[in-house]
């Protein structure tokens, strides 16, 4: 199978509520983009003192200090970004060529799919790219466990006799 092959067929797409799943993925990457640059800029401003906050952040009396609260917030955001980077790093190999391109340009750089379709490097139609975007979003939602199943799938599962025993 080449890196250009479709990885999802129509039957697999039907299992998921794409619109709800896309909203979840879009929300995740909006947060990721928003926090990534700001957090590392702030941590560099704090510099070496950030280590002391990591150690003291568990002390309840220390949390009254606004600087400590700010440092705690930065640490939590940094942990979120590192978690996302780790999940992406582990799973990026699962995306094919066009899915990686869509991931980089649409989800990470927040470009529109139409701008990618108009790119001189692109030799595929907008329809093809939109299918690739759909499969890319579904794969990423599975990485982070933020996919939404179609209501029909849930109804079918509930109709099985042994579903409640699971």
pLDDT single digits (tens) 9-39: 677 788 888 999 999 999 999 999 989 888 8
Question: Closest by alpha carbon to 24, among 153, 151, 149, 141?
Answer: 141
Q: What was the pLDDT predicted at 2?
A: 44
Question: Closest by alpha carbon to 40, among 74, 6, 1?
Answer: 74
Who wins on pLDDT, 43 or 57? 43
pLDDT above 50: residue 101: yes
Contact 102, 129 (CB under 8 A): yes
Q: What was the pLDDT predicted at 157?
A: 67
Mean pLDDT of the chain: 80
Q: What was the pLDDT predicted at 22?
A: 94
First to last CA, the chain: 35
Weakest-pLDDT range from 32-41, 66-75, 98-107: 66-75
Who wins on pLDDT, 72 or 26? 26
């Amino acid at each position: 199978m080449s890196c250009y092959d479709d990885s999802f067929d129509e039957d697999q797409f039907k299992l998921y509520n794409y619109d709800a799943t896309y909203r979840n993925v879009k929300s995740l990457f909006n947060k990721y983009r928003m926090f990534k640059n700001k957090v590392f800029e702030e941590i560099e401003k704090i510099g070496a003192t950030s280590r002391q906050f990591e150690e003291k952040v568990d002390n309840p009396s220390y949390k009254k200090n606004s600087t400590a609260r700010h440092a705690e917030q930065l640490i939590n955001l940094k942990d979120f970004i590192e978690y996302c980077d780790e999940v992406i790093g582990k799973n990026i190999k699962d995306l094919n060529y066009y899915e990686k391109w869509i991931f980089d340009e649409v989800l990470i750089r927040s470009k529109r799919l139409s701008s990618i379709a108009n790119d001189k490097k692109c030799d595929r139609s907008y329809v093809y790219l939109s299918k690739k975007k759909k499969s890319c979003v579904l794969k990423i939602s599975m990485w982070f466990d933020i996919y939404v199943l179609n209501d029909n799938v849930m109804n079918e599962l509930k109709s099985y006799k042994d579903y409640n025993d699971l």
